[in-house]
Amino acid sequence: MTTLSSIKLIKKIWLIAANEWQYWLRSHLSLGATGIFLVLILTTSFLTTAHMDSENHLRSHQQSEAEETFLSQPDRHPHRMVHYGHYLFRTPAPLAIFDPGLDPVTGQAIFLEGHHQNSVMFAESTASADLGGLSWLNPALVYQLFAPLVLLLVGHSSVVREREAAGLLPLLALGISPHTLVFGKALALLLFSLLLLIPLLISSTMAFMSGESSMTLLLLFLNYAIYIAIWVVLTLLVSIAFTKRSTVLAAMTGLWFSFSLVLPSIAVSITADTVPVAGKIETDLAMLSSLRKLGDGHNANDPAFQQLRADVLKKYNVERIEDLPVNFRGIVAMEGEQKLTKVLNEFANLRMAAELSQTEHLADYGWLTPMLAITVISRTLAGTDLAHYHRFQREAEAVRLAFVQGLNRAHIETLSYEDDINRNKNEDAWQRARVDAANWQVLDAFQFNTASLTERINSASPSIRILLAWLIALLGLLLWSCKRVMP
C-alpha cells in the first residue's frame, strides 16, 4: 500500500468515525446514556474522594494520638505497658479514592498487645455505614459495571444500523471496504471510551498529588482502557453478527448481565466451595491448643521454662536466679513471647495463604469474564486488595513484637528480680517495681504504605495477561467477522 493510499484510507476511517459521533450527538439515547454515566462517575468520584480523604485524615490523626498516648504514660511496671497496648491504623492508599477495594469491608485499626494477635477492627462507628445502602458504589465499580452498559447502549447499532437501513450496499459500492467501515466504527467507539475515561484521569491526578507513582497510574489507565476496548470490540462483533438492532441490543444486554453480574457471582460461589478457608473460631481453637503447650510467660517457675532457667544460670555462672545480674522474669516473658509469636505467625501465615489461594483461584475466572480480571488488576494496582490487607497485618505484627520485646528488654535490664517479685508487698515495693517512662520510647511512628510498583505489577500480571488475551482474541474475531459486513 502506497503512502497516498494509506493517507486516503486513514482519512476515510476518520470520516466514518466523525459521522458516527455526529449520529451520537444527535441521538437522545446516546446523549442520555453518556450524560447519566458522567454524572454517576463524577458523583461517585467526588463522594469517594471526600470520604477517603476524611478517612485518611482521621486515621492519621488517630495514629499520632495513639502514639502520643502510649509515649506519655507515666513510670510503670514494664509488663503493664505490654498489656496497656497500642493501636495501629491503616491509612488508605492514594488510589483508594478511585478503588477502595477491600477497605470498607476489612478493618482499619488493630489493637496491639502482648501475647495476642488481635483481629483488625473497624476504627469508628461510621465505618459500619460503609456496608449498607449504595455506599458500595465507587468509581472503579462504576467503570467495571456501567461503562460497558453505556458502550453497548451507544454503540450497539454501529454496524447493524447500516444493515437495517440498507445502507451497507451504497457504502460498499462507494469503494469502502468492510474493514474500513468497521475500523471507522471502532475508532469512533474508542474515542468515545476515552471520553468516559476522563474522570479516571482526574482521580489519577489527585492520587498523584497524594504520592502515588505516575507509572502505577499509567498502568491503571491502560488496563481500564483495555477493559473498555474489550467491550468496544464485543459491541462491534454483536452489531456485525445480527441483522436487527433489537436483536443486537438483546444479545448485548444478555452478555452484559452474564459478564458483569451472573458469572462473577457464580465464580465467587464456586471458589468458596472449592477452595474453602477455615473460619476464625475453628482456627482460634486449633491455635489455642498449640499455645497451651508453650507454658505461661508470666510464671518464671513454669516447667516449660526449666531448660531456659538452666541455660541462663549456666551462661551467667550462678546457682540461683536471684543472683543473676538481669531479671529472669523478663527473660521468661521475652522467651515466652518469642515462642508464642512463632506459633501465632504460623497460624496467621496459613490463614493468609489460604485466603490468597482463594483470591488467586477467583482471579482465574477472569478467563470467563473480563470483569473479574479488571477487578483484580484495579485493586492490586490501587493497593486495596487482600495482599495489602495482609501486608498491614504483617506490618502490625512486626510492630507488636518489636514493642513488646522492647518492653521485655526494659523488664530484663532496668528492673531487678527482687523488686519485681516483691512488688505487691507494700506501696514502696510497688513504687520500686516501676521503670522510667523513657523506656516507652520503643515505638516508631507508623505509616502504612502500599507495596512497591514491582510487587503490585507481579501480583496483577496474571490478570493483566488474561485481559490482554481477551482483547487479542476478540480483535482476531473482529477481523475475521469483517467478511460478514456484506450487503
Q: Whole-angstrom Cα distance, residue 345 to residue 390? A: 12
Comparing CB distances to other proteins, the nearer of 32 and 487 is 487
Window of 22-30, 291-299, 410-418, 440-448 that interacts with other proteins by CB under 8 A: 22-30
- Where in 335-364 is the site for other proteins (CB under 8 A)? none
Compute the least distance from the CB of residue 173 to other proteins, in Å: 4
CA distance 300 to 277: 38
Those residues with Cβ within 8 angstroms of residue 192's Cβ, 6 or more apart along the chain or in another chain: 21, 24, 34, 151, 154, 155
Shortest Cβ 104–other proteins spacing (Å): 44
Among 6, 7, 10, 22, binds other proteins (CB under 8 A): 22
The Cα 281–Cα 279 span in angstroms is 6
3-state class percentages of the chain: helix first, strand second, coil last, to nearest 5: 75, 5, 25
Q: Is 144 helix (H, G, I), strand (E, B) or coil?
A: helix
User: How far is it, in rounded angstroms, from Cα 160 to Cα 355?
Assistant: 46
Least distance (Å) from other proteins to the CB of residue 8?
7
**Among candidates 287, 258, 272, which has minimal Cα distance to 348?**
287
Which of helix, strand or coil describes residue 165? coil
Per the structure block, which three cell numbers stand in for 98?
478511585
In the complex, what is the shortest distance from the CB of residue 169 to other proteins, in angstroms, rounded to a whole number?
Answer: 6
Which one, 16 or 412, has the nearer CB to other proteins? Answer: 16
Check: CB of residue 66 under 8 Å from CB of residue 90.
no
- Going by C-alpha positions, the residue among 87, 82, 73 that lies closest to residue 330 is 82
Nearer CB in complex with other proteins: 23/111: 23
Compare residues 169 and 479 and give the one whose CB is closer to other proteins. Answer: 169
Closer CB to other proteins, residue 7 or residue 191? 7
Query: 157 or 408, CB closer to other proteins?
Result: 157
Q: Determine the length of the chain.
A: 487
- 295's torsion region: left (phi>0), alpha (psi -120 to 50) or beta? left
Query: Amino acid letter at 432?
Result: R
Q: What x/- string results for residues 24 through 43 when contact with other proteins is judged by CB under 8 A?
A: --xx----------------
Per-residue mark of binding to other proteins, 370-389 (x: CB under 8 A):
--------------------
Nearest approach, Cβ of residue 1 and other proteins (Å):
12
DSSP 85-143: -EEEE-PPPGGGGT--TTTTTS--EEEEBTTB-PPPB-SSGGGGGGGSTTTT--HHHII
C-beta of 233: minimal distance to other proteins in Å? 23
Q: What is the dihedral of CA 366, 369, 375, 377, to 10 degrees?
A: 40
Closest CB to other proteins among residues 191, 286 = 191
Q: At its nearest, how many Å lie between other proteins and the CB of residue 166? A: 5
Nearer to other proteins, 165 or 201 (CB): 165
Q: How far apart are CA 323 and CA 262, in angstroms?
A: 72
Distance CA 332, CA 169 (A): 89
Of residues 2-21, which lie at the interface with other proteins (CB under 8 A)?
8, 11-12, 15-16, 19
Q: Which is nearer to other proteins, 28 or 293 (CB)?
A: 28
Helix axes 328-364, 306-316, angle to 10 degrees: 130
Residue 60 vs 481, nearer CB to other proteins: 481
Number of amino acids touching other proteins (CB under 8 A): 23
Q: Which residues pair with 76 in a beta bridge?
A: 435
Site for other proteins in 188-247 (CB under 8 A): none
Give the nearest distance from C-beta 103 to other proteins in angstroms.
45
Nearer to other proteins, 15 or 479 (CB): 15
Question: How many Å from the N-terminal Cα to the C-terminal Cα in the chain?
Answer: 26
- 8-state DSSP, 243: S
* Choice from 23, 46, 111, 221 touching other proteins (CB under 8 A): 23
Kindly report the number of other CB atoms within 10 A of residue 131's CB atom: 11
For the CB of residue 4, give the shortest distance to other proteins in the complex, in Å: 11
Mark 147-186 with x for binding to other proteins (rule: CB under 8 A) and - for no binding: ------------------xxx-xxxxxxxx----------
| Nearer Cβ to other proteins (26/314) | 26
Is 309 one of the binding residues for other proteins (CB under 8 A)? no
Q: How far is the CB of 39 from other proteins (least distance, A)?
A: 24
Chain contacts with other proteins (rule: CB under 8 A): 8, 11-12, 15-16, 19, 22-23, 26-27, 165-167, 169-176, 486-487
